Structure 1
């Protein structure tokens, strides 16, 4: 029995699927199945029941699962502490990033990590903000960047890394911006709305409820950056992210009709219970260093909100 078999056991138990586990572990499905079979042979017991609904942990497997999770976590901490003692941080670091979580900051951050910790392998996953938070809580992510939500995040250690405003925007010249908005007239326009797990998707639905409108035609997109492109091309109106700095000139490719939210914050965080994790501690220091350099104006071009 080795630690890799335990990692496979824990991952298959968590997701209930060899296919899903193979994606998470970046292994082939036959390899994952072989690891499970090998572990079961070594232990002399069945850990899973194979069903049409997936892999179900047996009663015996359930009794071993908590200990397996603990061993995997302790192995990771052991290797990270050993790396710290020899003056380096190594291993795999799972990083989640919301679909619009300050790409300029994330790029600068990744560049700095590669310079400071060349032995640390970063795996970046682009997810919705809610999925990033969920990943932090179930330990599938070590750290994440996401747009602040209304949900309780008191179990996370967070720092603000950027911010942006949310505006209802239209193609240039389509709607008179000097007149009070006629919301019923706006309902006749084509609306471009992002998915519900994105901040603009949530705020778009709230805006429609607030003004009691139901757009006749809606184009749904799964990426908030696509909304900006479609609005600028004349495809319709929609909620977009705009730099929160009021001193900057308004965008030229779109007309801003209505400010929905002055400031939406982009957060970087990790699970507070893992604050002693050597890799998280080291990477968190880089985030703080980057924020200090931004405040001093040392790297202004790198930290612009994308």
Structure 2
């Protein structure tokens, strides 16, 4: 039994619905349901009655809720005591992130920081992974998310997630005779406008690798520096382009785009800071919290 499972259980019990709990916890509904099921199996008790109106506690669930709240309160007291012993952490933390792949992890980190170091002020700067890495090296940011491509000796980083990159196009741009398998007609696709992320981004690099491998250069390129803009342009039929796999599959499930071919490559997302600063108390805390969040998120996905 893990404390995060108890936190999920208490949140579902208080909200009365998996949907509301998943929003509060920044987890998917299947992940929340899986953790509740795992907790029930470990305890050998049914904690909830599932109804069309939501989740209501069983008599056993009411008893376990009281115990779970006591354990979480003890955890909170322990964190408070640890904060008192280290003199408390205050000041400003400057975090860097993009608006795509790291958004969920960033939300969880901010929630943990708010609970663990409530006196800490946090400021956010959004940009490409290359922008974040540069800001870290220049001292304009304290910590942030970037990709494996930006890792250097000056930076200390740890992997926190990974994502794929896929090619997407609006169905309205494709003729009825177009076939994506086993190999798409790259020369025909080259005639379409391509929506391109900046050259230094992971999607920009993946696009350049694709052009070299397939020996073509698009007739027209349109640059967009945010993934939600790339998605909007592709969905509206402006052109073809690359999206991170979660975004691509969500757009495909909603009928906005059609995916062409398999995942082109996997990109590792990392979280880091300047190597020479990694032992500073504030950064020690942030790195520890991020490592815990990454582990819990991976565990939730696995279940």
Aligned equivalents of 1:170, 1:279: Cα separation in 2: 44
**Maintained 8 Å contact 2:101/2:244:** no
Return the structure number with greater helix share: 2
**Residues 295 and 203 of structure 1: is their aligned pair in 2 closer, same or farther, counting only changes over 3 Å?**
closer
| Alpha-carbon spacing, 1:264–1:193, altered in 2? closer, same or farther (3 Å) | same
2:141 maps to what in 1? Answer: 141
Determine if contact 1:100/1:147 at 8 Å carries over to the other structure.
no
Structure 2 residue runs of 5 or longer lacking an equivalent are 1-82
Cα distance, 1:169 vs structure 2:
1.2
Query: Using the alignment, how far apart are the partners of 2:202 and 2:295 within structure 1?
Result: 27
Using a 3 Å threshold, how does the CA distance of structure 1 residues 289 and 176 change in structure 2: closer, same or farther?
A: same
Structure 2 match to 1:126: 126
Aligned-residue offset at 1:260: 5.6
Q: Are the aligned partners of 1:192 and 1:220 in contact in 2 as well (CA < 8 Å)? A: yes
Residue 157 of structure 1 corresponds to which residue in structure 2? Answer: 156
CA deviation map 1:39-79 (0-9, x unaligned) = xxxxxxxxxxxxxxxxxxxxxxxxxxxxxxxxxxxxxxxxx
Q: Which secondary structure state, in structure 2, belongs to the residue aligned with residue 134 of structure 1?
A: helix
1:215 matched to 2:214: no
Partner of 1:292: 295
> Hey, what does 2:168 align to over in structure 1?
169
SS of the aligned residue for 2:181 comes to coil
Contact (CA 8 Å) 1:164, 1:243: kept in 2 or not? Answer: yes
How far is 1:249 from its partner?
Answer: 11
TM-score, normalised on structure 2? 0.64
Alpha-carbon distance, 1:103 to partner = 0.8
Instruction: Report the equivalent of 1:235.
Output: 238
Instruction: Report the Cα distance in structure 1 between the residues aligned to 2:85 and 2:134, rounded to whole angstroms.
Output: 31
Cα contact 1:177–1:255 (8 A) shared by 2 = no
In the superposition, the TM-score normalised over structure 1's length comes to 0.63
- Residue 100 of structure 2 aligns to a residue whose secondary structure is coil
CA distance in 2, matches of 1:296, 1:104: 15
* C-alpha distance in 2 between matches for 1:84 and 1:200: 45
Distance 1:188 1:179 in 2: 20
Shift of residue 132, structure 1, vs aligned partner = 1.2
Match of 2:280 in 1: 277
- Say if 1:171 and 1:237, in contact at 8 Å, map to a contact too: yes
**1:9 aligned residue:** none
For 1:24, the equivalent position in structure 2 comes to none
Q: Give the secondary-structure state (helix, strand or coil) at the position aligned to 1:139.
A: coil
SS in 2 for 1:243: helix
Distance 1:249 1:141, change over 3 A: closer
Cα RMSD of the aligned pairs, angstroms, is 2.7
Offset, 1:242: 0.5
Count residues in correspondence: 214
Checking the alignment, whether the CA contact within 8 Å between 2:161 and 2:269 is kept in structure 1 is yes
For the residue of structure 1 that corresponds to 2:110, the secondary structure is helix
Q: Secondary structure at the match of 2:184?
A: coil
Contact 1:190 1:235 in 2 (8 A): yes
